[in-house]
Amino acid sequence: MRKIFIIGIGAGNPDHLTVQAINALNQVDVFFVMDKGQEKDDLVRLRKDICERYIKDRPYRIVETADPRRDPSAPYDAAVRAWHEQRAEIYERLIAEELGEDDCGAFLVWGDPSLYDSTLRIIDQLVERRKVVFEHEVIPGISAIQVLAAQHRIALNRIGRSVHITTGRKLAEGLPDGIDDVLVMLDGDCSFKAIDSTDIDIYWGAYLGTPDEILIAGDLREVGGDIERKRAEAKARKGWVMDTYLLRKRGA
Q: Do 202 and 99 fall within a single domain?
A: no
- Judged against a pLDDT cut of 70, whether residue 242 lies above it is answered with yes
Residue 38 has what pLDDT?
63
How many percent of the chain have pLDDT more than 90?
A: 79
Residue 146 has what pLDDT?
97
Q: Do 29 and 85 fall within a single domain?
A: yes
- Judged against a pLDDT cut of 90, whether residue 75 lies above it is answered with no
Better-scored residue on pLDDT, 159 or 53: 53
- Judged against a pLDDT cut of 70, whether residue 231 lies above it is answered with yes
Range of the domain at 125: 2-139
Q: Do 235 and 164 fall within a single domain?
A: yes
Q: Do 210 and 113 fall within a single domain?
A: no
Residue 27 sits in a domain of what CATH number? 3.40.1010.10
Instruction: Print burial letters for 150-174: b (CB count within 10 Å at least 16), e (below 16).
Output: ebbebebeeeeeebbbbebebbeee
Residue 39 has what pLDDT?
59
> For residue 205, what are the contacts with CB-CB under 8 A and spacing of at least 6?
144, 147, 148, 151, 152, 213, 214, 215, 216, 243, 244, 245
> For residue 135, what are the contacts with CB-CB under 8 A and spacing of at least 6?
1, 2, 3, 4
Give first-to-last CA distance, the chain, whole Å.
53
How many percent of the chain have pLDDT more than 70?
A: 98
152-168 average pLDDT score: 94
Lowest mean pLDDT, pick from 13-22, 76-85, 175-184, 207-216: 76-85
Boundary of a domain, candidates 106, 139, 172: 139
Length of the chain: 252
Residue 245 sits in a domain of what CATH number? 3.30.950.10
Distance CA 164, CA 171 (A): 11
**Half-sphere exposure of residue 88, counting CA atoms within 13 Å on the CB side?**
20
Q: Quick count: other Cβ atoms within 10 Å of Cβ 112? A: 21
- In the chain, the number of structural domains is 2
Q: Do 18 and 49 fall within a single domain?
A: yes
Distance CA 191, CA 204 (A): 13
- Judged against a pLDDT cut of 80, whether residue 196 lies above it is answered with yes
39, 80, 140, 211 alpha-carbon torsion, rounded to 10°: 20
pLDDT-based confidence at residue 183 (cuts at 50, 70, 90)? very high
Lowest mean pLDDT, pick from 73-77, 179-183, 222-226, 241-245: 73-77
Question: What does the pLDDT look like over 80-93, one tens digit per residue?
Answer: 888 889 999 999 99
Residue 73 has what pLDDT?
79
146-158 average pLDDT score: 96
pLDDT-based confidence at residue 69 (cuts at 50, 70, 90)? confident
Task: Identify any residues that bridge with 218 across adjacent strands, giving them in sequence order.
Answer: 202
Q: CA 217, 173, 115: angle at the middle one, nearest 5?
A: 65
231-250 average pLDDT score: 94
